[in-house]
């Protein structure tokens, strides 16, 4: 169970980190290495996810976005997809009140039409229950793909232009960003991918333009507080220039 009480954020070194995004990869390989069925890896992955939510809240991170189920994951074996949906439903049912009591604001981003009606209902209830909370903003990407996100935003803007609600000449990057699934959240500062792969797998393609990318060989069920600390230490040593030179940064704010 996620219990976020009794925490005060520790001081943060290095560049500001408001938004952490995580590609949680490696559940199946974790199970395979232990000669366990894949569903054992997914259960262990849930425990790692809840621990991460707790740790991010403790550290005062404002936004956490988790890549839980991609649009491409529908191509996995039907029995595994069914298990993932059932596990997701049980976890949400068990944890939502604890998240709410601890001020977490929950959102689901992605195309959810293919999920069972009962799960979609649970998602909506979770969002409604926590929508006024002002603690950690937790977004869970399900049925999500970065290209889908961009196309949906473009379609929405095209409809607004056709109806006369938007002047195409006035369209800028900020307006486009607000139409993406992440809405008003700031772009991720740091993206962590576990499991040893070095790719972003169609995750937040627009939003990751200037994110720092950290790849960990640790399989997701083993990604604990110490592994997160290693990622944050790495991030603290980065200089975020956003196209500027190091000299410009040094002459400006004095930090990355």
Domains of the chain plus CATH, in order, are 19-251 (3.40.1180.10)
Which entry of 25, 149, 187, 189 is annotated as an active-site residue?
25
Which entry of 3, 27, 73, 202 is annotated as an active-site residue?
73
Q: How high is the pLDDT of residue 14?
A: 73
Examine the residue annotation and report whether 25 is marked as an active-site residue of this protein.
Answer: yes
pLDDT in tens, 210-243: 999 999 999 999 999 999 999 999 999 998 766 6
Residue with tokens 């972003």: 200
Average pLDDT over residues 251-255: 57
Contact residues for 138 (Cβ-Cβ < 8 A; gap 6+): 53, 64, 65, 66, 99, 104, 105, 106, 107
pLDDT in tens, 128-150: 999 999 999 999 999 999 999 99
Burial class (CB in 10 A: 0-12, 13-18, 19+), 18: middle
């Amino acid at each position: 169970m996620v219990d976020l009480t009794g925490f005060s954020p520790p001081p943060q070194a290095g560049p500001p980190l408001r938004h952490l995004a995580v590609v949680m990869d490696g559940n199946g390989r974790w199970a395979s290495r232990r000669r366990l069925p894949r569903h054992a890896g997914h259960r262990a992955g849930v425990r790692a996810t809840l621990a991460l939510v707790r740790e991010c809240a403790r550290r005062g991170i404002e936004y956490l976005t988790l890549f839980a189920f991609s649009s491409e994951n529908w191509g996995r074996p039907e029995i595994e997809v069914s298990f993932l949906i059932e596990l997701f439903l049980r976890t949400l049912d068990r944890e939502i009140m604890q998240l709410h009591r601890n001020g977490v604001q929950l959102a689901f981003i992605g195309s959810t039409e293919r999920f069972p009606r009962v799960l979609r209902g649970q998602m909506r209830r979770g969002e409604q229950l926590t929508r006024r909370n002002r603690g950690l903003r937790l977004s869970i990407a399900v049925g999500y793909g970065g290209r889908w996100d961009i196309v949906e935003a473009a379609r929405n803007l095209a409809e607004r232009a056709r109806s006369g609600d938007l002047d195409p000449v006035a369209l800028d990057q900020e307006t486009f960003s607000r139409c993406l699934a992440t809405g008003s959240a700031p772009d991720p500062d740091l993206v962590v991918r576990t499991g040893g792969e070095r790719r972003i797998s169609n995750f937040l393609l627009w939003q990751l333009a200037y994110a720092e990318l950290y790849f960990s060989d640790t399989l997701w069920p083993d990604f604990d507080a110490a592994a997160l600390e290693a990622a944050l230490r790495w991030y603290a040593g980065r200089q975020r220039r956003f196209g500027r030179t190091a000299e410009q940064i040094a002459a400006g704010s004095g930090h990355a």
